[in-house]
Every structure is written in C-alpha cells, then in structure tokens.
Amino acid sequence: MNAAAVKIGVGSRLLHDGQVVEIVEVHPGRAGMDLVLRDIARRTMIRASLNELLRSEGTRVISDVDPTPNEVAAEPAGVLLAQLSNAEREQVCDRAAHVREVLTGFRSGSEELALPGEPRPEYRSDVPLSKRYANKAREMGAGQRTVERWVQQFQQHGEAGLVSTKDKRSAGAGAKVDPRWTQTAVEVMVEHTDQSRPSQTMVIDRTNARVIARFGEGEVELPSRATAFRVLGDLENRYPTFRLSTKRNRDIAARPDQAYGKLRPTRPGEYLLMDTTRLDVFALDPITLRWVQAELTVGMDWYTRCVVGIRLTPVSTKSVDAAAVLYQAYRPRPAGDEWPAYAVWPEHGVPRSVLIDVTAIEGPSFGVAGPAIVPETIVIDHGKIYLSEHLTSVCQQMGISIQPARLRTGRDKGPVERFFRTIREDLLQALPGYKGPDVHSRGLDPESETFFYLDELEAIIREWVAMVYHHRPHDSLVDPHVPGLRMSPAQMFEHGVARAGYIEVPRDPDLAYEFLKTDFRKIQHYGVDFGGRRYNGPALNPYRNMTSPYKGKAKGRWPIHHDPDDITRTYFRDPETSKWHTLMWEHAPSMQMPLSEDALQFARKLAAAKYTYPDDRLAIADLLERWNLGLGTTLAERRIALRLSRDAALIDLPEPADEITTLPSVARVLATASPPTSDGEVETLQEPDPECGDDDDAEDLDADLDDFYADALEDA
C-alpha cells in the first residue's frame, strides 16, 4: 500500500479538534458517508459527515505506520520525474515493468493487459516471492537485495521511487561546506551593503576570522580557497556585492521581502507622478556665458504616461517651480508655431478622435503642447519642495490628495524614473554639453561644449516630448483585452477618455493665482508691508486698518499671494467680489525686470556693507550694476541671476486691469521711439552706421555742448 494513502473504516482513529476519536459506525447518508465517532477521553459519541471531516483543517487521520524521515523529506514525484531525460525515463519505465512482473507476473501489472507468453513460469503467483526475487536478479544481472529494494521503493512511491536521486538532488556550490561558514559569509556580505565594494579575498578572510572567534579553533571546517570563491559566487545572486555597482547593490538590498504591490491607475488623472532630477547636460549662464547645471521637474500622468508639466530651473528647484508644473496640468503651455499638427492638442484637452467637428470646436486657437487633466492624487518623494507648505496648500485648495513614496524607493515612481533615463538616452546625449550619467562616462571637457541657454534647452525638451515621446509606443501601455497591442501615450489618453469619460478641466481665468504662495499681512493705511517692502493699490481702500474674518493662523490678517521670483508685485483677492487685484511695490516703476526674494536679500547685504544708510532702491541699483559688469561670480549670485534671466514667466498670470504703468528706461526710449512731430506722426530716429562713426557736424556738436553747460549750474 502506498504510504500516501490511509484506509478509513471502523476502528480508524482521527485527531479531531485536539481530541483523539475512533470510528465506531459507518453508514450511508445524504451527502455521502456518515460516521459515528467515539471520544476516547470523554466517552462521548459524535456524529459527523466523512466529507466534512476530510475537508476540515482541524481533523487529521492517525496512521498506524508513521512515515520514516526519508519519506518525509522525499522530493515530490512530479519534481523527480520532470528532471529525467527521455533515455532516463525509458529506463525507469522498464525497471517498473520488471518490478510489476516480480509482484504480479505481468509487466503491465494486470492480467487483462497481459503480453504474449505471460506469465512466465519463473514469475507465476505460485512461485515463492524469494525465488522470484532471485530469478529477476539473475535476469537483470543485479543483486537480489537490489531487486528487493526496488520493490520496496515501488510499493511506497510508485515509479518515482525507482528514480536514482544520486545526481538529481540540488547540491549547489556550498553543499559540502559547513552551513555555519556560509551563514557567516552572508553576514559579512550584507554588512558591506552601504559601504564601498570589498574584494572577495577580504570577505573570505573576514569570514574565516569571525568563524574562529565565534565557534573556536577547529570547530568549523574552513573551506579551501577555491571552494570559498565558488560559494561567494553562488551567494552573489542573492546578496550582490562584487559584480554590480554599489548603488545597484543598495537598490537590490532594499527590495521588499513580501510580494510586490503597486498603485494601479484606471483612468487619466487618477495619479500624477512628480519628480525632479539633475540633467546630464550643461546649459549656458546668460549672465556670464558660462556653463551651469540644470534641474528638470516633470509631472506625468501615470495611466497614459503623458508628460503634462515641464519646468527647467538652474542649479536648484523651489516649491514654486513644483507648483508651476502642477499648474501646467490644468493649463498646458502653448504649442510651438512650427510644430506639426499631430503634436498639437486642443486647448480643452480632449483628443481629436473623440470629437465630431474639431475645427468648429477649436476655432482659431493654435492649440497647446499637451493634454489637460485634473489630478486626483499626486505621487511625490520626500524632497523639501514637495513637502513644503506652499505645494501642500495648493493641493488642499484644489482637492488633490498627496501620496508620498517610500523613502529611497525609486520604484514607487517607476514610470517617471524611466522617463528620465529615456530622455537622457534619446535626447540629451545628442546635445552639446552632455556630461554622462556619472564621472566614469564624462568626456574630456563637456563644459566647453555647452551651447544652449536654459530657455532653449527647455524648449527642446518640450518639443521632443510633444513630437516623439507622446507618439512612440510604450511596452507598458497595453490593453489586457487586446494582447500584443502597444500604444503610445497619446493613444492611451484617447483610450482612457473613451473608457472613463470626458476630462473635466477648470477654465477659471484666475486659476494661476491659486498656485502662488500665500502669507497673511495687515492692511495698513499705506498698504501692505511684506518683508520690509510696501505694496499698495486702489483695491485695498475698503479694507485699510480693518480686521479680516480669517481666524487661526491668520490672526485677523488678510491673505496676500506672491511669487518668490517676482517681488515687484503681489496679489490680493477681494472677498466681496472675488476679483483679483495687483499690488505694486513702491520701487517697481524704477525696474525693467522681475526681482526675486533672494536677489533683494543679497542686494541688501551688499548695500549694508557699502553704505551707512542703505535703502532697497540703492541696493538694487548696485546689484544690477554689479551683474552688468560681470562681477556676479559667487554661487549665490549666479543662482539668483539665472532665475532672473529667464524669459518665460513662472505661471501665465492674466494681465491685471489695475496694474501701475512703469516708466521705460531712457536707453530703451532712445533706441525705439521718438517724440511726435507737429502733425502727430512719430519721427523715426536714424541710427548712425557703426562702421562709419558719428556723422554729426562739429559745429552742431559744439553748439549742443554750449547749451548744456550754460544751464548746468542754473539751480545753484
């Protein structure tokens, strides 16, 4: 009888709910066989169904013959038979036929399937079993004890018991090595996860020393050097230490022990991945014309892999840049004038394939660079710009949930991390100034090859995303209902819209103000004091010296929205009319460019060291003069100047109606405009030819100089 089967009948014992019971009656029932059990300890009777007992996890049949340790540790029959080659399988089948002939007299094991001449006289059932063993041993040229062992193994395990396990057991490189030495080697390798890469010789030496110190001299047999190298090579697959890069080894060591899980988006806009990386290409500093490093911040829709927000910043990224990327998901940037039609999206964000009449709906619009979505959840890492109060408040106001990724776990944002690699391999490495992903890939002097300014580099990235990335099939963009079909991000967006419905995008013209930083200030009679600067505007008249209705952190103050990269103005929302108004800085009319908060603080620091009584106007004038002369050589000055040199606005704010008109500079007026003549026409100034010098008459020049010096001391 096979050891895997146990007979159940009257007298059989079972372990049921922790108690030993014995079957005393067996009779048919509605759902099969019904049993009457007697609890041996309590002397009580139990009635139960056989099917219920066999399926119950609390019931186990007690066998009269316990399996031997070899039977418990034996490999499953399917595993043993699956390792056999065709020749080995034929050998096992032939050996099983001989065993069946010894036991029954027939090679098939059944009289109904008897072959011609069976049963042979030496294997008839009336011949003693010992003689049959001896006859089969002489026939096969083996010992009688071998035949007896074959019969015993066949009776216990079937044909799988006749498989030779000598060469089928998975030994491994360290099967003959003391497991205590192997475990100690694993400890040493794991300790180097966060350290520099060791050599295999050092790991072997440390393992030997630790084994001797822990177990004593001679207690653990140390493997030979060649065997130790083979054991480390086998352990390298589970605990990589020597072959891969140390960064890759740390990533593998940080893998979870449990089954992998991930967020599974089902529609566009459900999850928005946001991340920042330092680009592997240098850009030009517009101030000093020197190379500078740049950081790229992107927002990617997880379901479609569409890049809905792009922001390139010099040196470092701020929270306002992350908010600008999030804003682009609602309001995509305009498409390029020379972009092909397939790369341009309708302004409302709905793809053309689901529209009836695209021309009638789009009208004269030129379209935008990407789709518009409403993010439901953003997936971010633990960077300061993403955990800032600014971005958190924006998400709260827009109804966006925040899903932080696990610490140092890049695979939680796998698609956007793969995008950074794709843009490096497909675009950046073809640009001048490419420096490679690490120091081992750097060229001789990539800084000297820097060619593109920051805004030009951002325009190149946007164009590549719109023309190439959005229309190239991705391996991960598939529809389970259509196996083998790969879709591009643009096609996946159309698929998502058709599956989940139209995308609702807010069309509030003042949406940009919601993405600015908010601080609370008192409205005084002179306006609003913001960091030592005064802002004023007619919109504050009804609220001067009044306490706001906002409580908590506001403490009766009014919310003022501002852009840290442009302190020339702030924004105030009228609580009565919900209309936004621009509050101008008192020194803004004297400037022709935005000024950041960092630049003003730096200017004040320089002016305090130079003047006894400095003010903001004097400090800014000195700072601009310093930059114009090319003296901005420190890292702080270069970072501030780079942010100010950007032509593109941070957020496309609507033009305020009550903005104060600034005075143009004298140089700009002289270069571009002339006073009107008596007939009302504007006279165009004729610029002198730079190759020929000044063509004014000497007499006219002397007359002008006399007139100038004549009234120079008039006030004195």
Query: In this structure, are 459 and 587 located in the same domain?
Result: no
Structure-block tokens of residue 308: 């809905």
Residues, the chain: 716
DSSP track, 496-560: HHHHH-PPP----TTGGGGGSEEEEE-EETTEEEETTEEEE-GGGGGGTT---S--GGGTTPEEE
The 3 state secondary structure assigned to 71-95 is HHHCCCHHHHHHCCCHHHHHHHHHH
Q: Are strands 32-39 and 44-49 parallel, antiparallel or unpaired?
A: antiparallel
**Average of pLDDT values for 706-711?**
45
Residue 303: the pLDDT is: 93
Residue 591 has pLDDT above 60, yes or no: yes
- Domain holding 705, by residue range, is 674-710
State how many domains the chain has: 6
Structure-block tokens of residue 472: 């190239």
Question: Within a domain: residue 660?
Answer: no
Answer with the residue of higher pLDDT: 506 or 510: 510
Residue 711: the pLDDT is: 45
Question: Within a domain: residue 316?
Answer: yes
Q: Are strands 19-29 and 566-573 parallel, antiparallel or unpaired?
A: unpaired
Q: Which helix (H) or strand (E) element contains residue 19?
A: strand 19-29
Rounded to whole angstroms, the Cα distance separating 48 from 43 reads 16
**Relative orientation angle of helices 389-398 and 319-330, to the nearest 10 degrees:** 20
Residue at a domain's end among 100, 129, 162? 162
Answer with the residue of higher pLDDT: 662 or 624: 624
Query: In this structure, are 317 and 379 located in the same domain?
Result: yes
Query: In this structure, are 445 and 350 located in the same domain?
Result: yes
Query: In this structure, are 585 and 560 located in the same domain?
Result: yes
Question: Within a domain: residue 148?
Answer: yes
CATH number, residue 410: 3.30.420.10
Question: Within a domain: residue 263?
Answer: no
The answer to whether the predicted template modeling score (pTM) of the entire model surpasses 0.75 is: no
**Average of pLDDT values for 593-601?**
68
Q: Which amino acid is at 702?
A: D
Query: In this structure, are 345 and 425 located in the same domain?
Result: yes
**Average of pLDDT values for 513-518?**
82
The predicted-structure confidence for 49-86, as pLDDT tens digits, reads as follows: 888 877 887 788 877 655 554 444 456 777 778 888 88
- Partners of 59 in the β-ladder: 16
Q: Please, are residues 214 and 184 in contact by the beta-carbon 8 Å criterion?
A: yes
Rounded to whole angstroms, the Cα distance separating 565 from 692 reads 43
Query: In this structure, are 516 and 494 located in the same domain?
Result: no
Residue 648: the pLDDT is: 47
Question: Within a domain: residue 657?
Answer: no
Query: In this structure, are 78 and 158 located in the same domain?
Result: yes
**Average of pLDDT values for 120-127?**
88
| Non-local CB neighbours of 683 within 8 Å, separated by 6+ positions | 674, 675, 676, 677
How many Å separate Cα 630 from the centre of its chain? 41
The predicted-structure confidence for 137-191, as pLDDT tens digits, reads as follows: 999 888 889 989 999 888 888 888 888 766 554 455 556 889 999 999 999 999 9
Residue 83: the pLDDT is: 81
- What stretches of 3-143 show up as alpha helix (H) in DSSP? 50-55, 69-73, 77-82, 86-104, 129-140
Closest CA to 567 of 620, 627, 511: 620
Answer with the residue of higher pLDDT: 124 or 32: 124
Question: Within a domain: residue 664?
Answer: no
Question: Within a domain: residue 233?
Answer: yes
Residue 678 has pLDDT above 50, yes or no: no
Residue 2 has pLDDT above 60, yes or no: no
What 3-state class would DSSP assign to 622?
A: helix
Share of the chain above pLDDT 90, in %: 24
User: Nearest-5° angle of CA 21, CA 24, CA 27?
Assistant: 120
Residue at a domain's end among 500, 525, 552? 500
Please tell me what DSSP assigns to residue 324: H
Question: Within a domain: residue 407?
Answer: yes
**Average of pLDDT values for 657-671?**
37
The strands making up 377-380's β-sheet, listed across from edge to edge, are: 307-314, 294-301, 272-278, 377-380, 401-404
Query: In this structure, are 80 and 60 located in the same domain?
Result: no
**Average of pLDDT values for 36-59?**
81
Query: In this structure, are 209 and 154 located in the same domain?
Result: no
Rounded to whole angstroms, the Cα distance separating 596 from 286 reads 17
In degrees and rounded to multiples of 5, residue 23 shows phi and psi of: -80, 120
Query: In this structure, are 240 and 344 located in the same domain?
Result: no
Rounded to whole angstroms, the Cα distance separating 94 from 113 reads 16
Residue 46: other Cβ atoms inside 10 A: 16
Query: In this structure, are 200 and 231 located in the same domain?
Result: yes
Query: In this structure, are 33 and 88 located in the same domain?
Result: no
Answer with the residue of higher pLDDT: 158 or 639: 158
Average pLDDT, the chain: 78
